Structures are given as structure tokens and as C-alpha cells.
Amino acid sequence: MKDLETHDTTDLFRIAVLFGPPCLIILSAAWFFLLAKGFISPRTFVLLMVANIPITVGGVFVIFLFVRTMAVGVAHMATAAGNIPPPPSYPNQDLLIAQGKYREAADYFRDHIRITPEDMDARLRLADLLERYLGDLAGAEQQFLAVRRLSNEPHLEVPVTNGLIDVYRKQGRREQLKSELARLVERRRGTALGEGAARELQELEAGDG
């Protein structure tokens, strides 16, 4: 086994503290029970009591290795074996949003996009900010459409479509709304999201009829 890192040592110590004493108590109680019932001899009882310590130590290491292996596996699955970079963060904008300074946060996003126009996540965040907090539906639509035009990333398709649906629903633009709902139905057929879009699309078409 490779040399333990600091956090591994800490985890191992925690497991030893949490698992070790209960394990010793349970094993000792089991050996006492077997001795009292006559299933084992006093000599075997002594040997088992001595064996409590290596059994417990082995159990601690088994649990530690299992937990560490599972943690690494989950991390790899979440990042596709480390090939997917973490989502970008925008600390200045997030701080302003938390303070309710939505216009200033939007200005920060606009400045960021002027410098880094290929940052689609920033465009989506700006569009959401404009639509939800500032009532700038036209501006939100512009950013959503820009993401659709500039990006070919499949994972951005649903956020863009959902965002445009919200914009067109608020604007009362039924034809554009139906178009985006139809797109969502086609792209997410057989899912709860697609079924919900299909129901709303049917209601709109029934109202037009």
C-alpha cells in the first residue's frame, strides 16, 4: 500500500476510534457467551481474547480501504475519470447576488463575457439573472440564443431550451413557446421533462383550436 497521506491517516484514526472499541466489546461478549454455554474451552477462550486485537486492527484496515476505494470511485464517476473540469465559479457575481445587487452582478457578467465570449456558463448565469431578477426578458433571450448559436455542447441544450420556455411564457409569445416545447419533447422523449413539455404543448394547441 502506498504511503498514507495526511487525510488518509486522519480517516484511519477516525475509523479506529469509531469501530475499534465496539468491535472489541462485541467480540469479547461473543467469546464469553460461547464459554458460558460450554461451546469452547477456557484455553480457546484465552486465545480468542488475544486474537481480538489483530481481528479488530484487520477490520479497521478493511473498512478504511473500502471507504477510500468507494470515495475514489464516486469522484471518478462524477468527473468521468477526471476528464470533465469543474464548473466555473464567479465569486464576485455570487457575492453581489447574495447581497441583492442584481444589476451590479449582471454588469460583472457582461464585462466577463466581453473578455471571454466563449464562456457559455457565464452567459447562462447572466440570462438567468436577467430573467428571474431584473425582468429583462429580451436580454435573457439574447443570451440563451447566443449559447445555442455558439455552443455545440449537448449538456447545455436543456438549460437553454428551458430558459427560452420561461422567457416566452412570460412574454406571452405562444408560437415561440410552442416551438421550444416541441424541441424539448423531441430531445427528451420518454422522460418526465419531455412528458411535461408535451402536456403543456397539447394545452396550447387545444387553446388555439
pLDDT in tens, 47-71: 988 988 899 888 888 887 887 777 6
Could you say which of 78, 106, 136 is where a domain stops? 78
Q: Which residue range forms the structural domain that includes residue 103?
A: 91-208
130 shares a domain with 56: no
100 shares a domain with 185: yes
Average pLDDT, the chain: 86
16 shares a domain with 40: yes
- Output 141 or 14, whichever has higher pLDDT: 141
pTM for this predicted structure = 0.60
Could you say which of 25, 47, 78 is where a domain stops? 78
202 shares a domain with 130: yes
Could you say which of 49, 78, 107 is where a domain stops? 78
What is the arithmetic mean of pLDDT over 149-172? 94
Determine the pLDDT at residue 1: 44
Within a domain: 21: yes
Within a domain: 84: no
Task: Tell me the per-residue pLDDT of 93-127, one tens digit each, with 9 for 90 and over.
Answer: 999 999 999 999 999 999 999 999 999 999 999 99
pLDDT over 70 percentage in the chain: 88
What is the tally of structural domains in the chain? 2
DSSP per-residue string spanning the chain: -PPPPHHHHHHHHHHHHHHHHHHHHHHHHHHHHHHHTTSS-HHHHHHHHHHHHHHHHHHHHHHHHHHHHHHHHHHHHHTTTTTSPPPP--HHHHHHHHTT-HHHHHHHHHHHHHH-TT-HHHHHHHHHHIIIII--HHHHHHHHHHHHHH---GGGHHHHHHHHHHHHHHHT-HHHHHHHHHHHHHHTTTSHHHHHHHHHHHHHHHHH-
Within a domain: 86: no
